[in-house]
Amino acid sequence: MASGHTPRKLSPGRRGKPVSSPSQQVVRLGFGFAVSQALRVVIELGIPDLLASGGHSVEDLAAAAKVDAEPLYRVMRLLAPEGVFTEIRPRHFGLTEVGAALRSDRPGPRDFIRMINSEAYLAFEQLLHSVRTGKPAFDKVFGSPRFDWLSAHPEQAALFQRAMVALSQGGNEAVADAYDFGRYTRVVDVGGGHGQLLSAILARNPHLSGVLFDLPSGVAAARQGAGGDLPRTDFVAGDFFEGVSVGDIYVIKRVIHDWDDERAELILRRCREAMPTHGRVLVAETLVPPGDEPDQIKTLDVVMLAVTGGLERTEAQYARLFAGAGLKLERVIGTRAPISILEASPA
């Protein structure tokens, strides 16, 4: 006998195709890894660069990239409906505006895609371990914490730093513009990486001197100008858990989110110990909004869980961190980019 449950008819969707059922939608979510790795493949083969001057047949592209045409076609056919390429006519592809962001001659998420699909991708296979234990899957898979591992793998560390530059997408300039550095003399960029933020701050504030503080790998690239000009700057290779350089204004951008509360608090305490009473700490991070609106920061949060053991936080969570480090959250300053400045003073 019929159960009385009539399957709902699917209404036509885009291009006259039926809107997918819940189970089809779940399957599509589950295939996310395929799109991510396919993006990495076309980047490694330089396909976006080959298409920069116009469309090409997949045979031409395969010959130029020295790969087999048929599997390349299948990978590009996967990425075309995702908006990366257009199939102009059968087996001929062109680059879309989205795909053009993967070209090597312009800033874009290219290095981020390569970086996230390497160690982070492998660590994610053990995400369940992180959820069970609260500990980073990365450590289980690679045998050491993320930043220790990067220190021992200079090529991957360099890729990581370039990916950070790509991820910033105007965030450094936005932070430098949003804060009045007028009354300070020496800015310390803690975990400053390539030095893009410090470069933007120093360019706008000729009265300031700067300190780029990072692990040896970060400092080396910054010294060579990887993140822009760094005049009036001391380059200090050190461990921010041990102590940081002296200055009266500290900037810490996208660093605190790498660490659990105990470690994050320790970094902030090291700043508090080094600064004068009129000094300030500026933590630049993306705040997790309340509710279930889609927001990329929620993805990054789970990446932090699996890879570094860190987390993305709400304003209240940052206020608690500051309090634990002998600091007081004074105000939150929005910027034109999806990143906020949390200003703290000695408590």
Q: Which residues bind ligand SAM (CB under 6 A)?
A: 147, 164, 168, 191-193, 197, 214-215, 218, 239-241, 253-255, 258
Q: Least distance to ligand SAM from the beta carbon of 47, Å?
A: 27
Q: Which residues pair with 284 in a beta bridge?
A: 253, 341
Residue type, 332: V
Closer residue to ligand SAM, CB minimum distance, 31 or 241: 241
Q: Contact, 38 vs 79, CB < 8 A?
A: yes
Closest approach of ligand SAM to the CB of residue 99, in Å: 25
Residue nearer to ligand SAM on the CB measure, 168 or 205? 168
Q: Compute the chain's Rg from CA coordinates.
A: 23
Kindly tell me which of 61 and 337 has the beta carbon lying closer to ligand SAM: 337
Quick one: residue 83, left, alpha or beta (phi over 0 = left, psi -120 to 50 = alpha)?
Answer: left
Catalytic residue (one of 129, 153, 257, 278): 257
Burial readout 154-170 (b: 16 or more C-beta within 10 A, e: otherwise) = eebbbbbbbbbbbebbe
Q: Smallest distance from the beta carbon of 149 to ligand SAM, in angstroms?
A: 11
Question: Is 153 annotated in the active site?
Answer: no
Task: State the nearest-atom distance from the C-beta of 273 to ligand SAM, in Å.
Answer: 15
* Amino acid symbol at 97: E
Strand order in the sheet with 186-190: 233-237, 209-214, 186-190, 249-253, 280-285, 340-346, 327-334
Of the pair 77, 269, the CB lying nearest ligand SAM is at 269
Buried b (16+ CB within 10 A) or exposed e, 59-93: eebbeebebebeebbebbebbbeeebbbbeeeeeb
As measured in angstroms, the least distance from the Cβ of 239 to ligand SAM is 4
**Residue number with CB closer to ligand SAM (35 or 266):** 266
Residues annotated as catalytic are 257
